[in-house]
Amino acid sequence: AVVSTQSTGGIVHMMACIFLGISYFVANYHRIALRYNPAKKMAISWKAFYHFYLLALLICSGLGIWSDGVMYCFHLFHIATLFDLLRRVIQGATIHVDQLLVCAPFAVIITYIYAIIYFYFFRDMFNPEKMEYCQTLGQCLVTVLKNSLRPSSGGHNYSWTGRKEFSDLWMRLLIDASFWILFTIIGLNVVTSLILDGFRQLKAERERALKDMTTLCTVCGLSKDHLTSNGISWSSHVDRDHNMWSYITFFFYLQEHTGKFSAVENEVLQKFNKADPSFLPNGRCIAIDTKLDLENTL
């Protein structure tokens, strides 16, 4: 009875994950682009991190049925999507994920080189009682990787069993110091700098977006200084001429309306479904156009 209940709960959980993915793609299918197109600024790349996150949710949900619910712990990460602060933290840490993935093979190569050195010259110094294994090259590699991720070890802090002579100290100093410089100082600092640079870039983008919200018109992109220099009130322009919410209401009307459309409405709807923003008055507003027309007439 318990197994049946777990299976039923697992199926319900998987259906919820499927529904989450379907609802996302139904809402954004017209924005997902297989190829990057600069003209479609509202498009979403198919390689977006959220797409792989949804796939991981579904896979872990399916594996949870056959793992007594152990894999369901991955879905706790979904809490982060409910809070803007946590979303920005994750986004900042993964903004350079492609560069971080490139660094990973080099870290493995460095540890593999040291594993070969230990295996062929110092395998007898490892102490299995302290979980130091080097009977095979694979065991050496795992041991080196394990000790490489210990920040308190100060390098490869092995037992060096049977090597207590002063002459062995120079070799140990050379190995530990070189690994500490290559892996700990250079390697880990490169990873840390990439993550911090991601947060700095995210902060700069947020500050630029906040500045644009107060100095640039969301609809036409004209600056506040340009409008005021032409005798147009900024508050009147963003509240009446190019009210952002009026455009959003119009887009919602086009998507929900079931009757016939006019020629203009039909053209705007087609471009909107193709994520083509050319129907927006980019760099133009009727007040400036009217002023220019009057000046040309006079």
Q: Report the pLDDT value the prediction gives residue 243, as an integer from 0 to 100.
A: 87
8-state DSSP, 32: E
Selected residue with higher pLDDT from 161 and 175:
175
How far does the chain reach from its first CA to its final CA, in angstroms?
Answer: 89
Query: Is 40 within 8 Å of 33 (Cβ atoms)?
Result: yes
The pTM (predicted TM-score) of the whole model is: 0.57
* Nearest alpha-carbon partner for 188 in 143, 147, 148: 148
Spell out the long-range contacts of 171-175 with Cβ–Cβ below 8 A and sequence spacing 24 or more.
175/114, 175/117
Q: Report the pLDDT value the prediction gives residue 142, as an integer from 0 to 100.
A: 86
Query: Is 125 within 8 Å of 163 (Cβ atoms)?
Result: yes
Q: Whole-number mean pLDDT of the chain?
A: 78
> pLDDT digits over 115-161, tens only?
888 888 877 777 787 787 888 888 888 888 877 776 554 445 666 66
> pLDDT digits over 236-263, tens only?
888 888 888 888 888 888 877 777 888 8
Q: Report the pLDDT value the prediction gives residue 45, as an integer from 0 to 100.
A: 58
Q: Report the pLDDT value the prediction gives residue 31, as an integer from 0 to 100.
A: 60
When pLDDT is averaged across residues 164-177 and rounded to a whole number, the result is: 74
Q: Report the pLDDT value the prediction gives residue 15, as an integer from 0 to 100.
A: 83
Query: Quick one: pLDDT band at residue 163, thresholds 50, 70, 90?
Result: low
* Nearest alpha-carbon partner for 204 in 92, 56, 59, 37: 92
Q: Report the pLDDT value the prediction gives residue 1, as an integer from 0 to 100.
A: 44
> pLDDT digits over 40-96, tens only?
444 555 556 677 878 888 888 878 777 777 777 888 877 777 787 777 887 778 788
What does the alpha-carbon distance between residue 79 and residue 84 come to, in Å, rounded to a whole number?
Answer: 10
Q: Report the pLDDT value the prediction gives residue 154, as an integer from 0 to 100.
A: 45
Q: Report the pLDDT value the prediction gives residue 4, as an integer from 0 to 100.
A: 55
> pLDDT digits over 207-229, tens only?
888 888 888 888 888 888 888 88
The CA angle 157-161-165, to the nearest 5 degrees, is 95
Element (H, E) at 44: strand 44-45
Handedness of CA 118, 123, 125, 131 (dihedral sign): positive
Helices and strands of the chain, counted as H and E runs? 12, 2
What does the alpha-carbon distance between residue 178 and residue 155 come to, in Å, rounded to a whole number?
Answer: 9
> pLDDT digits over 269-282, tens only?
888 878 788 888 88
